[in-house]
Chain A
């Protein structure tokens, strides 16, 4: 299967789990590439949000504390930087802060913006994978390079304790 098809397969598999919910901007309405991997899912599993990344990330943490497994979608890596406090100071530190009594499971999806056929420019195409690996302690950071890596990565993210940041390549939606 191709890169995008594996993403769709992974999302459909996750959507069959009772405790999952897909959230972010353009999960219910079109507007970015990630939407095209979610539009086969039941509408009641998708929570469209305003653009408020900092709240979205913290909100995902809170929902996970109540037993849900949010698949929290940030269309471009560049936009994920808008939620660094919720991501780095809170979701990534909550296990140590609570002496491993709170282990919220959030599955974070983001994408390195595509450069072809349209190049979104310097604010929409950055790859901060290494930055995230350096700054995050508890959140597992996974770069999805090949189609065959995708489904096992989401499967592992669902079954492991704690949270995972999965990074896609926008260009691979068409190339691989």
Chain B
């Protein structure tokens, strides 16, 4: 059973390994959105597709990718591109890159008559990109659920400030705000490798 403390402890464990200089690649730790994600994942089925970005540890854990397997992958430098065949999980560290792929799995699920869904988790800056607009317009009648996780920042760039304001949130999107618990990447401490 994955609860809030399990998620926090997992990331804290990764933080310690990283600060010991044992992870030879960037890490993007999650934090501050445990309760929102636990609630959302109550509706995610084990055979659904889940797509995430560079900040993906919580999504993978909540989709029941085994924690030990994830930890090993992260130590091998895969934090930014975690994946799993079963359960179906894929992540990319290019802004917006997962969106068209998620459109495709959702379309194929529909064409194949599958009851499974696709879930695509994006941040607030990705939500504002053109590719999100196009994809959202196209998939309104497909089984693709977008989840927008708004921490107000893209790396450290304030999203609303650069766009000159915010926009209305479409009703068919799951949207929540949170304050991130860790910096964009790393842990906030100087590491000697």
Chain A residues within 8 Å of B, Cβ to Cβ: 21, 50, 52, 54-68, 85-86, 89-90, 97-98, 101-102
Compute how far the CA of A63 lies from the CA of B108 in the bound complex, rounded to whole angstroms.
Answer: 5
Compute how far the CA of A67 lies from the CA of B85 in the bound complex, rounded to whole angstroms.
Answer: 13
- Chain B nearest CB from A100 CB (Å) reads 11
Count of A-B contacts with CB under 8 A?
Answer: 90
- Asked if A62 contacts B111 (CB within 8 A), the reply is no
| Residues of the B chain whose Cβ atoms lie less than 8 Å from the Cβ of A63 | 104-105, 107-108, 111
- Chain B nearest CB from A133 CB (Å) reads 22
**Given A55-B103, A58-B103, A68-B108, do A102 and B85 touch, yes or no (CB 8 Å)?**
yes
| Residues of the B chain whose Cβ atoms lie less than 8 Å from the Cβ of A85 | 94, 96-97
Compute how far the CA of A63 lies from the CA of B106 in the bound complex, rounded to whole angstroms.
Answer: 8
- Asked if A90 contacts B101 (CB within 8 A), the reply is yes
Subset of 21 A-B contacts with CB under 8 Å: A54-B131, A54-B134, A55-B103, A58-B100, A59-B101, A59-B103, A59-B107, A60-B104, A62-B100, A62-B107, A63-B111, A65-B101, A65-B105, A65-B108, A66-B105, A68-B111, A85-B96, A89-B97, A97-B81, A98-B81, A101-B83
- Asked if B138 contacts A52 (CB within 8 A), the reply is yes
| Residues of the A chain whose Cβ atoms lie less than 8 Å from the Cβ of B92 | 89-90, 97
| Residues of the A chain whose Cβ atoms lie less than 8 Å from the Cβ of B65 | none
Closest 10 CB pairs of A and B: A62-B104, A58-B100, A66-B108, A59-B104, A62-B105, A62-B101, A63-B108, A55-B100, A63-B104, A98-B83
A61-B100, A68-B112, A98-B81 known; 15 new pairs, CB 8 Å cut-off, are A54-B134, A55-B103, A55-B131, A59-B100, A60-B104, A62-B101, A63-B111, A66-B105, A66-B108, A86-B101, A89-B94, A90-B92, A90-B97, A98-B83, A102-B85
- Closest B residue by C-beta to A97: B81
- Asked if B111 contacts A21 (CB within 8 A), the reply is yes
- Chain B nearest CB from A130 CB (Å) reads 24
- Closest A residue by C-beta to B85: A101
- Chain A nearest CB from B191 CB (Å) reads 24
| Residues of the B chain whose Cβ atoms lie less than 8 Å from the Cβ of A89 | 92, 94, 97
| Residues of the A chain whose Cβ atoms lie less than 8 Å from the Cβ of B105 | 62-63, 65-66
Is B135 engaged at the interface, CB distance under 8 Å to the other chain? Answer: yes
- Chain B nearest CB from A76 CB (Å) reads 20
Compute how far the CA of A160 lies from the CA of B108 in the bound complex, rounded to whole angstroms.
Answer: 21
| Residues of the B chain whose Cβ atoms lie less than 8 Å from the Cβ of A67 | 108, 112
- Asked if B97 contacts A58 (CB within 8 A), the reply is yes
B77-120 contacts to A (CB < 8 Å)? 81, 83, 85, 88, 90, 92, 94, 96-97, 99-109, 111-112, 118
Compute how far the CA of A101 lies from the CA of B49 in the bound complex, rounded to whole angstroms.
Answer: 15
| Residues of the A chain whose Cβ atoms lie less than 8 Å from the Cβ of B103 | 55, 58-59, 62
| Residues of the B chain whose Cβ atoms lie less than 8 Å from the Cβ of A101 | 83, 85
| Residues of the A chain whose Cβ atoms lie less than 8 Å from the Cβ of B81 | 97-98
- Asked if A62 contacts B102 (CB within 8 A), the reply is yes
- Asked if B97 contacts A50 (CB within 8 A), the reply is no
| Residues of the A chain whose Cβ atoms lie less than 8 Å from the Cβ of B96 | 85
- Asked if B108 contacts A62 (CB within 8 A), the reply is yes
Compute how far the CA of A18 lies from the CA of B166 in the bound complex, rounded to whole angstroms.
Answer: 46
- Chain A nearest CB from B130 CB (Å) reads 9
| Residues of the A chain whose Cβ atoms lie less than 8 Å from the Cβ of B90 | 65, 98, 102
